[in-house]
């Protein structure tokens, strides 16, 4: 068997040896290109001294890149038990640096595992649960986030929604939540053919860093306002926000009732949430 620069077998051989035929229901689109996995790991910044969470390591391509890049501690959470033998070979190769947790990342409390240590999240996320995972991490504790950076692969359209500014077609609830709590940017796009099997659409690697201080407002109120406003995205706010007070609420914060949701800044949504 041929070996790669990290001394482990090529990923295609790992997949064949462990019978890891990709399962669509688990969002399994694997990365075999070592240059690409190294680029993602490098984009995450210095990893020494960090607990790096990787969601969905699969056969371990990105996991290996993170370890080769110097991550002191990688905690990899994988729901598919078929991947565990391949991951334990990587753990043996990097003694004491890789912990594999079998389970559903939607139900696992990363903050509790990090236990106050500096933490980052780096992942080629399963697309079916990627947005919900991001929302969970963003909102886990808005005043004291457990993560200091996230470097995540999403479908490009989701990436555009995360970084969207007012006035953009992609601007909506996700962009407001992300903009309230973090600075985010799309680092680079990844074409479908980089994955096995190729997904239908282009993907993007997005980086998020928490804001030193977010605008004061309560998460549940912000969600109520953005849900109402974008639930009827094309209507004027006097109409879409009617259940929350309509014109009276808008008057309180000096926002013209004839405006539409997508024209309001994150600051204006926070002001509405505070006035609720």
Which stretches of the chain bind ligand SAM, using CB under 6 A?
26-31, 55-58, 61-62, 77-80, 83, 104-106, 124, 126, 129
Residue 33 or 247 having the CB closest to ligand SAM: 33
Query: Which residues are documented as binding site for S-adenosyl-L-methionine?
Result: 29, 31, 56, 78, 104, 124
Count Cα neighbours of 107 within 13 Å in the Cβ-side half-sphere: 6
The helix/strand/coil state of 76 is: strand
Segments in 69-129 forming alpha helices (H): 84-93, 110-114
- Shortest distance in whole angstroms from residue 153 CB to ligand SAM: 7
CB-based closest residue to ligand SAM: 56
Smallest separation (angstroms) from ligand SAM to the CB of 184: 20
**Closer Cβ to ligand SAM, 28 or 240, answer by number:** 28
Q: Spell out the long-range contacts of 230-239 with Cβ–Cβ below 8 A and sequence spacing 24 or more.
A: 230/172, 230/173, 230/261, 230/262, 232/261, 233/172, 233/260, 233/261, 233/262, 234/260, 235/260, 236/260, 237/261, 237/264
Location of structure tokens 């002001």: 271
| Beta carbon of residue 86, minimum distance to ligand SAM (angstroms, whole number) | 10
Q: Which is nearer to ligand SAM, 29 or 184 (CB)?
A: 29
- Least distance between ligand SAM and beta carbon 181 (Å): 22
């Amino acid at each position: 068997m041929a070996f790669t620069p990290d001394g482990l077998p090529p990923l295609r051989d790992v997949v064949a040896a462990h019978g890891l035929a990709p399962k669509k229901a688990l969002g399994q689109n694997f990365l075999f290109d070592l240059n690409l996995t190294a680029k993602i790991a490098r984009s995450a910044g210095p990893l020494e001294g960090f607990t790096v969470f990787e969601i969905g390591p699969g056969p371990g391509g990105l996991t290996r890149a993170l370890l080769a890049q110097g991550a002191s501690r990688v905690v990899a959470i994988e729901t598919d038990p078929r991947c565990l033998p391949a991951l334990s070979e990587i753990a043996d190769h990097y003694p004491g640096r890789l912990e594999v947790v079998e389970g559903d990342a939607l139900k696992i409390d990363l903050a509790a595992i990090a236990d106050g240590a500096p933490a980052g999240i780096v992942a080629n996320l399963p697309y079916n649960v990627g947005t919900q995972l991001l929302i969970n991490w963003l909102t886990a504790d808005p005043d004291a986030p457990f993560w200091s950076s996230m470097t995540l692969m999403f479908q490009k359209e989701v990436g555009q929604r995360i970084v969207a500014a007012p006035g953009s077609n992609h601007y909506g609830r996700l962009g407001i939540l992300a903009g309230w709590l973090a600075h985010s940017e799309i680092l680079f796009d990844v074409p479908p053919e980089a994955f096995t099997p190729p997904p239908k659409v282009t993907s993007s690697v997005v980086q998020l860093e928490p804001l030193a201080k977010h605008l004061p407002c309560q998460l549940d109120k912000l969600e109520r306002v953005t849900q109402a406003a974008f639930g009827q995205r094309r209507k004027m706010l006097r109409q879409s926000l009617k259940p929350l007070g309509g014109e009276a609420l808008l008057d309180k914060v000096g926002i013209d009732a004839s405006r539409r949701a997508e024209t309001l800044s994150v600051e204006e949504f926070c002001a509405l949430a505070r006035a609720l």
